[in-house]
Amino acid sequence: GENGSGKTTLAKILAGIYSPTNGSITYDASVRSAYEIRSVTSQLFQKYSRYRMSLEENVTISTKQMHHRSEIISALETAHIGLNWFTDGLDTNLGREFGGTELSGGQWQRVALARAVYRPCQVIVFDEPTAAIDPNNEAELYHSFAESSADKFGFIITHRLGIVQLCQKVLVLKDGQFIDFGSHEDVLSRSEYYQQLWTAQAEQYMSQ
Q: What pLDDT score was predicted for residue 170?
A: 93
Q: What is the pLDDT of residues 161-205, one digit of tens each?
A: 777 877 889 999 999 899 999 999 999 999 999 999 888 876 655
* CA distances from residue 83 to 61, 74, 75, 112, 169 in whole angstroms, order as listed: 18, 11, 12, 15, 35
Q: Where are the alpha helices (DSSP H) in the chain?
A: 7-14, 34-39, 55-60, 69-78, 105-118, 135-148, 184-190, 192-207
Q: What pLDDT score was predicted for residue 207?
A: 53
Q: Which residues of the chain have pLDDT under 50?
A: none
CB 45 within 8 A of CB 11: yes
For 167, list phi and psi in degrees, rounded to 5. Answer: -95, 150
Q: What pLDDT score was predicted for residue 3?
A: 83
How far apart are the C-alpha atoms of 15 and 7, rounded to whole Å? Answer: 12
* Three-class DSSP category at 64: coil
Q: What pLDDT score was predicted for residue 157?
A: 86
Q: Enter the pTM of the model.
A: 0.81
CB 114 within 8 A of CB 76: yes
End-to-end CA distance of the chain: 22
